[in-house]
A and B are shown apart, each in its own frame.
Chain A
Amino acid sequence: MTDTLTDASPLSFEEALERFDPVLGFEVHVELNTKTKMFSSAPNAFGDEPNTNVNEVCLGLPGTLPVVNGKAVEYAVKLGLALNCEIAERCRFARKQYFYPDTPKNWQTSQYDEPIAFDGYLDIELDDGEVFRVEIERAHMEEDAGKLTHAGTSGRIQGADYSLVDYNRSGIPLVEIVTKPIVGAGSRGPELARAYVSAVRDIVKGLDISDAKMERGNVRCDANVSMMPKGTTTFGTRSETKNVNSLRAVEHAVTYEMRRHAGILAAGGTIVQETRHWQEGSRTTSSGRPKSDADDYRYFPEPDLVPIVTTAAWVEELRAQLPEPPADRKRRLLAAWGFSEQEFRDVVAAGLLDEIDETVAAGVSPSVARKWWMGEISRLANARDLEPAALGVEPVTISALNGLITQGRINDKIARQVLEHVIAGEGTPEEIVTARGLEVVSDDSGALTAAVEKAMAENPDVVEKIAAGKLKAIGALIGPVMKETRGQADAGKVREIVLAKLGIEG
């Protein structure tokens, strides 16, 4: 754009909000984790060799016909219900037609005027506990496009030396959730944007209908932003920032677009209705393609598919299967576990709510479960550059380790070693302790007593202090005893023996 008015400098966030109110809207695409694609039996999988998870249907070869994946419809209904939507009794797919090489048929099979779910809402809790209701216009089913990689410096199809296309993603089932315009968020707009997308992510994860990894594009957000002068009610022209793929980026993109719009409008310019690209490096957006409401996709009902009919009984059956809503669950767990708000937030941020919940269910106290997951397991995961949940540590492992500690058979330090052996695949904690002879040295054979006696003999000054009542000095004997027993002594037991030797009441 050469028009200076569209290049006006963004206002500061505060200045922008003094003069304008934001109107927001979000389109969140959720990739469903069905085994097969939306309309074909090709596998729905991530990370495989390009163009291996394809068959004639998702390649759109001549003569092929789509067949709806029933599981995807079930997932879409569940998601609609979790978003407090109405579920259509009958709905159809339509062809959205445009020529682009990532869409092998040159139309995307989507839902147009008959979405499977509509008229819902989500209550979004902001950081300070304020609840903001976001209304959901619709949630509809569609298929994903292939993935284009453009060679050359342009990074886009225009000016590329050549472009490669991977149709593994072509036909993966998507649900697109569209909000109604969100008015009144004011300065909380960016925070609301992040919290909304986070809430949607938690819901689809809780429903186990998506892998919900934003970094893999399982959950993708298009953020619509417009600004209207304070005191007015007519929406301004909007921009649509596409494919913002992290919670932080959603927040920053909305912030930047609010400031950019305000800058242009304050300078007397007009907003171009267009798509924008999020630039992670500069935390700005750049101009994409112009988009008008009159973009003509020549929608018409997909004649190769029959309408989808949902019976009330089936919908109610699915409703009964819905898990507790994530927001309710968090409130319940916070109260049940007795963590501080900060501790709880850290657990949520680390993505370990499920793991701790399951560990507690396996019989470990919440604080011990938190200590393991937020401590040693997170440390080991970090060292391997993995998410803690990806280490493969089962709640039952933590429960077993904790049991061995409580029984006094191993100490904390040994337990951490055992955990590493579990991760290395050597077996259960019990098996590893036995196989490696890691059990705390008991005194059955007198070995521990002998080690204590040796330490006392070598440290007469310490013994003297203890005898004089400075019980803390026992700590100075524990090191040598541990050394003698290769770490397998129980510190409590050592203390007992020392005190007994000196005839002191513990």
Chain B
Amino acid sequence: MTTHTHELIRLTAAEMAAKLRAGEITSVALTQAHLDRIAAVDGGERGINAFLHVSAEEALRTAAEVDAIRAAGGAEAEALHPLAGVPIAVKDLIVTQGQPTTAGSKMLDGWMSPYDATVVTKLRAAKLPILGKTNLDEFAMGSSTEHSAFGVTRNPWDISRIPGGSGGGSAAAVAAFEAPLALGTDTGGSIRQPGAMTGTVGGKPTYGAVSRYGAIAMASSLDQIGPVARTTEDAALLHELIAGHDPKDSTSLTGEVPALAETVRGAEVQGLRVGVIKQLQGEGYQEGVLARFHEALDALRAAGAEIVEVDCPSFEYALGAYYLIMPSEASSNLAKFDGVRYGTRVLPEVGPLTIERVMGSTRAAGFGDEVKRRIILGTYALSAGYYDAYYGSAQKVRTLIQQDFDAAFTKADVLISPTSPTVAFPLGEKDDDPLAMYLNDVATIPANLAGIPGLSVPGGLSEGLPVGIQFLAPIREDARVYRAGAALEKLLTQDAEPLWAQAPELAETAEAAAHAAGK
């Protein structure tokens, strides 16, 4: 691997785009540099394992197309999307024609979608080479990417630790310079929490801002696709690309996509009212996390922001409500995986072959423990006689949380909290304690329950590991979280290297060395 390659992959997506436009680099070279990086750091026992599938040929084909269009010049070159030629990774929960989609589950091992998700259609139209599909907790159920049927993803900051989840693959790929951009999905924090754990930027758009068509549903009323990047500007560029009304998604919002990248470039916080959520600090939050959080508040205050405290009393019930609504919807959404039409089919080892028994043995063998846990929980919560007490009550809590946010946003323009109560924990630490794992999402879940936008930006290190700072804004006010996030990013990097640039060098694997030698 050449130094040049190293330099290329450490550019931001915006810088890559500028160099492509200026003709200083080609998309093929840029794409190949990332493919080389993936080959160098992703595989092997100590590899990151961010990718479940790498699609070198397809990515290079798209890259070559972009290069050819640029070389020819003229109207077609002019019409290229600003991110054309910048490679991207896609969370393997999002369906792609021509590349497998597994959702991190044995259930879909080997399945090829006959259609593209709307966001993928947009990536293809904008000609971003799709490098491959990234690892995740099975069906996005988890906060550590340990629940993938295809192995854990490691945190580039410390490969003995989790990268967060469920979108650990996308976050780790971006943090490890395997991709400048990635798509994630966020149901309870699956973009933002891995962002915090890996020192990257993760955005959860307003519910409905980005089409969910083609994102394999976990909890339909909470799921949202969003950008993963190393800078707020890159996240904003990707957010703008994937957002917009989609007639194939009935819950998709209409209206203009906000000019987020422009917001990022001019971001400052003079006069911005930043609300500190009383309930999202203190007990359960690591000291180091709180220290970085308070430094962030100080920086914002010094830059002219007005820091106020807001009270969100119903947040106490958010986790409980979330762990009823999410499994209820998931139990229904995952019913279609029965081995009848597609995906894995497992026949019972003994006894007659009836449809019920084949469905049963398929689901018993195809789903992992965490998925089964949530299906059972959700099935119970939706059962006759329990519906009102569980699902019904949880929906009421959801309304209360929305009201808390409404009240908070009369006092503040944006809200702020640590993204996650802790830094990345060691692999395997919470294997036997699902509840402790669930607590990791305590700060991110309220935004999903209320449908509001959120953004996690790097807030420094604690014990050598990244800490994330989360901003929240009212529905359709995605620009506000980018404004505040970009301003904080600027404040924290004016005298220091950006966090992502401080990550330790990763060892290149034996396979990668062999690969490089063979070239």
Q: Is the CB of A67 within 8 A of B250?
A: yes
In the complex, whether A43 has a CB less than 8 A from a CB of chain B is: no
- Chain A residues whose CB sits within 8 angstroms of the CB of B250 once the complex forms: 65-68, 304-306
In the complex, whether B49 has a CB less than 8 A from a CB of chain A is: no
Contact A304/B251 with A99-B359, A101-B355, A163-B355 known, Cβ cut-off 8 Å: yes
User: Which residues between 193 and 230 of chain A lie within 8 Å of chain B, taking CB atoms?
Assistant: none
Q: Is the CB of B117 within 8 A of A63?
A: yes
Binds A, one of B26-34, B156-164, B214-222: B214-222
B338's partner among A61, A63, A66, A106 (CB-CB below 8 A) is A106
Q: Is the CB of A304 within 8 A of B220?
A: yes
In the complex, whether B382 has a CB less than 8 A from a CB of chain A is: yes
Interface contacts (Cβ under 8 Å), in number, total: 99
In the complex, whether A407 has a CB less than 8 A from a CB of chain B is: no
Q: Is the CB of B336 within 8 A of A298?
A: no
- Chain A residues whose CB sits within 8 angstroms of the CB of B328 once the complex forms: 300
A62's partner among B108, B219, B338, B340 (CB-CB below 8 A) is B108
Q: List the A residue with the shortest CB-CB distance to B384.
A: A296
How far is it, in angstroms, between the C-alpha of A95 and the C-alpha of B332 when the chains are bound? 8
User: Which residues between 129 and 178 of chain B lie within 8 Å of chain A, taking CB atoms?
Assistant: none
Contact A56/B114 with A66-B250, A101-B340 known, Cβ cut-off 8 Å: yes
Q: Is the CB of A62 within 8 A of B251?
A: no
Instruction: Mark contacts of A24-41 with chain B using CB atoms, 8 A cut-off: 1 yes-contact digit, 0 otherwise.
Output: 000000000000000000
- Chain B residues whose CB sits within 8 angstroms of the CB of A424 once the complex forms: none
How far is it, in angstroms, between the C-alpha of A8 and the C-alpha of B56 when the chains are bound? 73
How far is it, in angstroms, between the C-alpha of A162 and the C-alpha of B267 when the chains are bound? 64
Q: List the B residue with the shortest CB-CB distance to A101.
A: B340
Contact A300/B248 with A61-B113, A62-B101 known, Cβ cut-off 8 Å: no
In the complex, whether A175 has a CB less than 8 A from a CB of chain B is: no
In the complex, whether A416 has a CB less than 8 A from a CB of chain B is: no
In the complex, whether B249 has a CB less than 8 A from a CB of chain A is: yes
B266 CB to closest chain A CB (Å) equals 35
In the complex, whether A373 has a CB less than 8 A from a CB of chain B is: no
In the complex, whether A105 has a CB less than 8 A from a CB of chain B is: yes
User: Which residues between 73 and 112 of chain A lie within 8 Å of chain B, taking CB atoms?
Assistant: 95, 97, 99, 101, 104-107
B336's partner among A67, A104, A299, A306 (CB-CB below 8 A) is A104
Interface majority SS (helix, strand, loop, mixed), chain A: loop
User: Which residues between 256 and 287 of chain A lie within 8 Å of chain B, taking CB atoms?
Assistant: none
B430 CB to closest chain A CB (Å) equals 28
How far is it, in angstroms, between the C-alpha of A63 and the C-alpha of B249 when the chains are bound? 11
Q: List the A residue with the shortest CB-CB distance to B208.
A: A306
Contact A294/B213 with A59-B341, A62-B95, A304-B251 known, Cβ cut-off 8 Å: no
In the complex, whether B507 has a CB less than 8 A from a CB of chain A is: no
In the complex, whether B356 has a CB less than 8 A from a CB of chain A is: yes
- On chain B, the number of residues with a Cβ less than 8 Å from chain A's Cβ atoms is 45
B102 CB to closest chain A CB (Å) equals 10
In the complex, whether A64 has a CB less than 8 A from a CB of chain B is: yes
In the complex, whether A303 has a CB less than 8 A from a CB of chain B is: yes
Q: Is the CB of B249 within 8 A of A298?
A: no
In the complex, whether B335 has a CB less than 8 A from a CB of chain A is: yes
- Chain A residues whose CB sits within 8 angstroms of the CB of B108 once the complex forms: 62
- Chain A residues whose CB sits within 8 angstroms of the CB of B332 once the complex forms: 95, 97, 107, 298, 300
How far is it, in angstroms, between the C-alpha of A296 and the C-alpha of B115 when the chains are bound? 34
B93 CB to closest chain A CB (Å) equals 8
- Chain B residues whose CB sits within 8 angstroms of the CB of A97 once the complex forms: 332, 335, 382
How far is it, in angstroms, between the C-alpha of A298 and the C-alpha of B378 when the chains are bound? 10
Q: Is the CB of A63 within 8 A of B335?
A: no
How far is it, in angstroms, between the C-alpha of A296 and the C-alpha of B386 when the chains are bound? 11
Q: Is the CB of B113 within 8 A of A157?
A: no
- Chain B residues whose CB sits within 8 angstroms of the CB of A106 once the complex forms: 335-336, 338
In the complex, whether B379 has a CB less than 8 A from a CB of chain A is: yes
- Chain A residues whose CB sits within 8 angstroms of the CB of B103 once the complex forms: 62
- Chain A residues whose CB sits within 8 angstroms of the CB of B117 once the complex forms: 63
In the complex, whether B409 has a CB less than 8 A from a CB of chain A is: no
In the complex, whether A60 has a CB less than 8 A from a CB of chain B is: yes
How far is it, in angstroms, between the C-alpha of A72 and the C-alpha of B268 when the chains are bound? 51
How far is it, in angstroms, between the C-alpha of A163 and the C-alpha of B353 when the chains are bound? 12
- Chain B residues whose CB sits within 8 angstroms of the CB of A305 once the complex forms: 250-251
- Chain A residues whose CB sits within 8 angstroms of the CB of B101 once the complex forms: 62-63
In the complex, whether B94 has a CB less than 8 A from a CB of chain A is: yes
How far is it, in angstroms, between the C-alpha of A61 and the C-alpha of B354 when the chains are bound? 23
Q: Is the CB of B382 within 8 A of A61?
A: no
How far is it, in angstroms, between the C-alpha of A440 and the C-alpha of B247 when the chains are bound? 64
In the complex, whether B387 has a CB less than 8 A from a CB of chain A is: yes
How far is it, in angstroms, between the C-alpha of A163 and the C-alpha of B341 when the chains are bound? 13
- Chain B residues whose CB sits within 8 angstroms of the CB of A296 once the complex forms: 383-384
- Chain B residues whose CB sits within 8 angstroms of the CB of A4 once the complex forms: none
- Chain B residues whose CB sits within 8 angstroms of the CB of A95 once the complex forms: 332
In the complex, whether A158 has a CB less than 8 A from a CB of chain B is: yes
Contact A294/B221 with A62-B103, A99-B335 known, Cβ cut-off 8 Å: no
Q: List the B residue with the shortest CB-CB distance to A300.
A: B382
How far is it, in angstroms, between the C-alpha of A62 and the C-alpha of B343 when the chains are bound? 10
- Chain B residues whose CB sits within 8 angstroms of the CB of A64 once the complex forms: 115, 213-214
User: Which residues between 420 and 441 of chain B lie within 8 Å of chain A, taking CB atoms?
Assistant: none
How far is it, in angstroms, between the C-alpha of A174 and the C-alpha of B387 when the chains are bound? 27
Q: List the B residue with the shortest CB-CB distance to A158.
A: B354
Interface CB pairs A-B, < 8 A, 6 = A63-B213, A65-B248, A105-B335, A298-B332, A298-B379, A300-B387
Knowing that A298-B383, A300-B328 are A-B contacts, what are 15 other residue pairs whose CB atoms are under 8 Å apart, sorted by A's residue number? A56-B115, A60-B336, A63-B101, A63-B113, A65-B212, A65-B249, A65-B251, A67-B249, A99-B338, A106-B335, A300-B387, A303-B220, A303-B221, A303-B251, A304-B250
| Residue positions of B touching A, CB distance < 8 A | 94-95, 101, 103, 108, 111, 113-115, 117, 212-217, 219-221, 247-251, 328-329, 331-332, 335-338, 340-342, 354-356, 359, 379, 382-384, 387, 391
| Residue positions of A touching B, CB distance < 8 A | 56, 59-68, 95, 97, 99, 101, 104-107, 157-158, 163, 294, 296, 298-300, 303-306
Q: 4 closest A-B pairs (Cβ-Cβ)? A: A106-B335, A303-B220, A303-B221, A298-B382
